[in-house]
Amino acid sequence: MPGIVFASWNRNKYLEMSSLLAPAGVELLFGPDLSGAGEVPEVDEDRDTYAGNAVTKALAWSSALGRPALADDSGLEVSFLNWGPGVMSARVAPDDAARVQWLLGKMEGISERRARFVAALALFFPERGIWLLAEGFCYGSISVEPSGGHGFGYDPLFVPNGYNETLAVLGPTVKSRISHRSVAARALCRMLTGGCVVE
């Protein structure tokens, strides 16, 4: 499956997804590196579901570049915050460090710290008009302080169930097995290798 555009400006996500999809033989291309990437319109992630946002992004990049496109949308859902911030996870603050501090402020003195990461992947093949959608979850809790130097986003605060350290401490080997994005990617790999998109 050569030449699939990763519809994102986030290189960390691109590197992670490239590794996760390699078993299915996917050649993932970083969208911003491609000629014509400047023609991609600003995508308003205004849907109320991860899948809706992922579909919107994949369609925009595919239409602009004329290639199959894969997009992801993901977020953190916290029990105490009525399972927010959800689809707004990236928009509560301008950067990762500020988002971590925002969440710590919301959770100060709170004992109910259950949380989950959610990811949706949308892959569009324009010539055949085929969509593939996959979703993944990772359950855990929010730590009382950030730790670890791996990963990105809320990883320094998220302790997966069955572990005593955050994803940012556990590192990429563990994350590639248990993260929400890896669960969704494995589901997508099964679709691709199971004959879902053959002529």
Q: Which residues are catalytic?
A: 73
Give, in order, the Cα–Cα distances in Å from 27 to each of 8, 14, 20, 76: 15, 11, 11, 28
Rounded Cα distance between 157 and 42, Å, is 30
* 165, 147 contact by CB (below 8 A): yes
Vertex 116: Cα angle to 114 and 118 (nearest 5): 165
| Residue the block writes with tokens 């790999």 | 189
Scored b (16 or more CB within 10 A) or e, 58-70 reads bbbbbebbebbbb
